[in-house]
Structure 1
Amino acid sequence: MRIQIMVKLWFFVVIGVASSCKKDPEIEEDRKSLGTFDGGVFVLNEGTFSDFRGGLDFISSDLKTIDLDIYVKSNGEEMGNVLRGAAIKDSLLYCVFNDSQRLVVSNRYTAKKNAETSFGLESPTAIVLNDKFIYVSNGTRFNDGVNQLSILDRHSLSLIRRISLPGYVNSMVILNGILFVPDQNSYSNQISLIDSETNTVRGGGTLPKGRVVSLITDNENVYALTREWDENNAYIYTLDSGGKIIHQTKLSGMADAYDLEVNKGKLYFTIGLDVYVLDVKAQQAPAKPLFTCSDFPKTREYIDGLAIIDDRIFLSAYSPYEDDSQVLIYDLNGKLLRSHSSGRGTVGFLKN
């Protein structure tokens, strides 16, 4: 009798273990059910001079495939004209379109449209998010309009307020609740600091040399790449969350430096089709590039998009914008991993 009871008990134990094992694939399926674009990298396409149509492509996590124009495929409509900036928060992807003067919100995993607005947006150029607000810079490089920052409620997309800016803004970042907004007009080296709790200007500063051409953060510091045309030099400034300069690197003879990125204590920038790397605390420029993008077609003149994602270097190169773009992906040593044709006017990348 005891043997029969023990057999029955073991039977139920085995069944219970087997049942629990069967649940693992279901959990995995739930994770995968977020959508087709869970993981991977979004490719940002500005559009062409002829039709100005901008949009998104998607590169899989294993880099093997690229899915073109995913928003159009998911929604049956164009996304907008001249895609200039994109950001992700929670399950949503936010994209701003310069010529369309609108913000489009879609699900980051399915590319399905969630909402859109044009209110408070005039020639938007860059976007930054926090838990409560959406910050969109508006304006042009020419002094023919008003440059300002529009602050929208992240959930209702309603306009909260506007803040006047001294000039054109192509990139901005947020660090420890402070929004760094550079004036990127010619010959300007001013950065405004805006408190994201009160949405008021906290102050600002002027960098010693050069016009800001790229601004990035690694969530510890802010890094500003500036170019000094008169000296034929460029500079990289490291700023703390209060806007204080804590380090400076002079890039002698590198006034064409462009597209700054940071990854694990290393800074990357481009000149023409060359990619350079240096330590964040370096005092001077590297003697030679990490590698040259000879894998681009001969019609490409310089790199127009640079991103470091999961220890891979994603690059796009300038084209006449009437041809499809090409994306090259390298490892951190400059070895080519993959090449893809992408949409027209590829200007950036965003990790999903």
Structure 2
Amino acid sequence: MKFAYKNQLGVLALFYLLVACNDSGNERPLGAYDTGVLIINEGAFGANDGEVFHLDPSTGILKENVFEAENNRPFAGLLEDIVLEEERLYLVANTGKVEIVNPGDFKSIGSVIGDLDIPRSLATAQGKLFISDYGPYDASFATPDSYIAVVSGLDGGTVKKKIEVSNKPEDLFTVGKYVFVAGSEEGKIEIIDAETETVIKTIEVDGRPVQFFEERGDLWVYAYDSEQVYFQSFHLSDLTKKEYRAFDISNATRSIAFGEDAKMYILTSTGWPDYNDGIAVVSINDGETLIPEWKTGSGFYGIGYDKERQEIYVANAKGFQGNGQVTVYSKSGAEVNTMEVGRGPSGFVFR
């Protein structure tokens, strides 16, 4: 079992376990969903039919609609992100809610419903939830009132505060008491002190920052524009910029998978009407574009990398015309498996 935490720097070095121990020291068997791959199916706009599928790669068994199966009710939202933190899974719906489940059996623990607009992701810090939210659209479909919602307690509840940030915040990452916010529309990294619940620093970066990740013990952020992709790391001692990489990859999207040896797999798309999609591979170790077109196709909508099995998962939304598809590749590019999944597959959580 791999405990993969998105928001706490350094915990990705936690070891693998075949069993987990409770506070009394007694061993407990792993839950049905403590291993394998969780597939995020975003769902279709209007239908709000987002759901989670579970794949056991060792057997090939795919279980559909996990949330509904374990809680006897549909998820009923557009599933934007899944975050594993504090022995909880947070299912973030951009239709205005967060569902919280136990990672082992997917049973509901709590939720944040109401007083959210368009939530995008989540981080935990100081026993609180910090939820990035675009805020409401105005008459011109802009989001001038974006914020980070704060909830006291890890099991959900009501929003007690909204911290104003730059437009369209995306990913969040916690380091100690600091919550880093990727402000995608204005190219800003805003840093929140989780104790005071205030923005204490803003760092400008190139492109649209959308995704944080850990590499070589440092915190990095991935950003992109129409012509290039950018990687920026930070000094955590004084919260300043550290290393910088830029690559000539055009038509990049927000979807990226973090491979081994600092290799990054980036989805590209020309968008409507052609939808010529691809996957580029770059290395932030040497600053080189390794393979500008590792795969090409149409309908690519999400990507993930399983470090344990060294396999790349590519989600295809199939134009949201019915169910989507996931194809699994080896590092060499050979196809390993293809499966039909739910509506709008967009991401993965590897356990």
TM-score range, shorter chain: 0.7 to 0.9
Provide the C-alpha distance between the structure 1 equivalents of 2:350 and 2:91, rounded to a whole number of angstroms: 14
Structure 1 residue 160: deviation in Å?
4.1
What residue number does 1:147 align with? 146
**Could you tell me which of 217, 221, 224 is aligned with 1:220?**
217
Shift in CA distance, 319/32, structure 1 to aligned 2, threshold 3 Å: farther
Measure, in 1, the Cα distance between the counterparts of 2:249 and 2:82.
32
Name the structure 2 match of 1:297. none
Maintained 8 Å contact 2:100/2:155: no
In the TM superposition, what are the counterparts of 1:193-212 in structure 2 within 5 Å? 193-207=191-205, 209-212=206-209
- Tell me if the contact between 1:172 and 1:216 (Cα under 8 Å) persists in the aligned partners: no
Q: Find out whether 1:74 has 2:83 as its counterpart.
A: no
Question: Structure 1 residue 292 and structure 2 residue 287: aligned?
Answer: no
Change (3 A) 1:129 1:182: same
- How far did 1:90 drift? 4.2
Q: Alpha carbons of 1:219 and 1:136: their partners in 2 closer, same or farther (altered >3 Å)?
A: farther
Query: 1:143 corresponds to which letter in structure 2?
Result: A
AA partner of residue 123 (structure 1) = I
Deviates more, 1:220-229 or 1:146-155: 220-229
Task: Report if the CA contact (8 A) 1:249-1:282 is conserved.
Answer: no
8 Å CA contact retained: 1:235, 1:251: yes
1:39, distance to aligned residue in structure 2 (A): 0.7
Structure 1, gaps ≥5 residues long? 1-24, 295-299
What code does the residue aligned with 2:76 have?
G
Aligned residue number for residue 18 of structure 1: none
> Normalised by the size of structure 1, how large is the TM-score?
0.79
Q: Which runs of 5+ in 2 are unaligned?
A: 1-18, 270-276
Do the aligned partners of 2:302 and 2:346 also contact (CA within 8 Å) in 1? yes
Q: Alignment partner for residue 100 of structure 2, among 95, 98, 105?
A: 105
Q: Which residue of 2 aligns with 1:278?
A: 282
1:47-103 alpha-carbon deviations (Å, 9 max, x no partner): 01341211111111426121110111112211121111221234421112122x111
8 A Cα contact 2:306 2:350, kept in partner = no
Deviation at 1:325, TM superposition (A): 1.1
Scaled by the length of structure 2, the TM-score of the pair is 0.79
Q: Secondary structure at the match of 1:48?
A: coil
CA distance in 1, matches of 2:316, 2:247: 22
CA contact (8 A) 2:301 2:345 kept: no
Contact kept in structure 2, 1:212 and 1:224, CA below 8 Å: yes
Higher strand share: 2
Q: In the alignment, is the contact (CA less than 8 A) between 2:97 and 2:111 conserved in 1?
A: yes
Tell me the secondary structure at the aligned position of residue 68 of structure 2. Answer: helix
Give the direction of change, closer, same or farther, for the CA distance of 1:139–1:327 in structure 2 (3 Å limit): same
Find out whether 1:325 has 2:318 as its counterpart. Answer: no
Amino acid at match of 1:165: V
Distance 1:32 1:64 in 2: 25
In structure 1, C-alpha distance between the alignment counterparts of 2:192 and 2:217, rounded to whole Å? 17
CA offset at residue 293 of structure 1? 5.3
Identify which of 92, 96, 100 aligns with 2:92.
Answer: 96
**1:122 and 2:117 correspond:** yes
8 Å contact kept, 1:316–1:328: yes
Go from structure 1 to structure 2 and tell me whether the alpha carbon gap of 1:63 and 1:129 turns closer, same or farther (over 3 Å shift): farther
- Contact kept? 1:249, 1:284, Cα under 8 Å: no
- The CA distance in 2 between the partners of 1:96 and 1:166, in whole Å, is 20
- CA separation of 1:302 and 1:178: change in aligned 2, threshold 3 A: same
Aligned-pair distance for 1:348? Answer: 0.9
Partner of 1:62: 58
Which residue matches 1:344? 343
Structure-2 change in CA distance of 1:35 and 1:211 (3 Å): closer
The structure where helix makes up a greater share of residues is 1
Write the distance in 2 (CA, Å) between the matches of 1:53 and 1:218. Answer: 35
Letter paired with 2:208: R
Letter of the structure 2 residue corresponding to residue 304 of structure 1: G
How many angstroms apart in 2 are the aligned matches of 1:35 and 1:233? 42
Deviates more, 1:189-198 or 1:300-309: 300-309
Could you tell me how far 1:326 is from its partner in structure 2?
0.9
Whole-Å Cα distance in 1 between the matches of residues 169 and 199 of structure 2?
A: 16
1:43 positional shift: 0.9
C-alpha contact (below 8 Å) 1:46/1:55 kept by paired residues? yes
| Cα distance, 1:247 vs structure 2 | 2.0
Whether the 8 Å contact between 2:215 and 2:262 is mirrored in structure 1 is no
Corresponding letter in the other structure for 1:194: I
Residues 103 and 287 (structure 1), Cα distance of their counterparts in 2 relative to 1, 3 Å cut: closer
> SS state of the match for residue 290, structure 2?
coil
Q: Is the 8 A contact 1:217 1:262 kept in 2?
A: no
1:163 aligns with 2:158: no
Distance 1:169 1:219, change over 3 A: farther
| SS of structure 1 residue aligned to 2:327 | strand
Distance change >3 Å, CA 146–CA 219, structure 1 → 2: farther
